[in-house]
C-alpha cells in the first residue's frame, strides 16, 4: 500500500462515521455536494478529504483524496425537532 492510499477497511470506517454522524449535520445545512475533511473519523485521517453528493436518501461518497493542507472545521449540531403536541 502506498503512503497516500486508503485500504477498504479505512474507507469503510470513514464511510460508517460519515453516514452516522456527518450526514445529519449536512442535511441541516441543506448541503448537496462538496468536500469534507475526514478528521471526524480519527486523527489518522486528518489529511484525507472525501467528496460527496446528495443521493435519494442521503449522501453518496464519490471519492477520497489525500491533501496535506486540508483542515477540519466544526459542523453545526443537529437540531432536535420539538414535539409540539406534548406542549399543548
pLDDT per residue over 51-73, tens digit each? 999 988 789 999 999 999 888 77
DSSP H or E run through 5: none
CA angle 76, 79, 81 (to 5 degrees): 175
Q: Is residue 88 part of a domain?
A: no
**Residue 13 is part of which domain span?**
8-71
pTM: 0.79
Question: Does 22 have pLDDT greater than 80?
Answer: yes
Q: Is residue 79 part of a domain?
A: no
Is residue 10 a contact partner of residue 18, using CB atoms and an 8 Å limit? no
Domain count, the chain: 1
Q: Is residue 40 part of a domain?
A: yes
Q: Is residue 28 part of a domain?
A: yes
Taken in order 23, 29, 31, 37, the sign of the CA dihedral is negative
Amino acid at each position: 500500500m502506498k503512503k497516500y492510499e486508503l485500504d477498504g477497511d479505512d474507507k469503510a470506517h470513514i464511510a460508517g462515521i460519515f453516514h452516522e454522524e456527518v450526514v445529519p449535520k449536512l442535511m441541516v445545512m441543506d448541503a448537496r455536494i462538496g468536500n469534507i475533511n475526514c478528521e471526524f473519523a480519527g486523527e489518522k485521517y486528518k489529511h484525507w478529504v472525501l467528496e460527496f453528493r446528495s443521493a435519494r436518501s442521503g449522501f453518496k461518497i464519490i471519492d477520497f483524496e489525500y491533501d496535506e493542507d486540508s483542515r477540519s472545521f466544526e459542523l453545526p449540531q443537529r437540531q432536535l425537532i420539538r414535539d409540539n403536541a406534548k406542549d399543548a
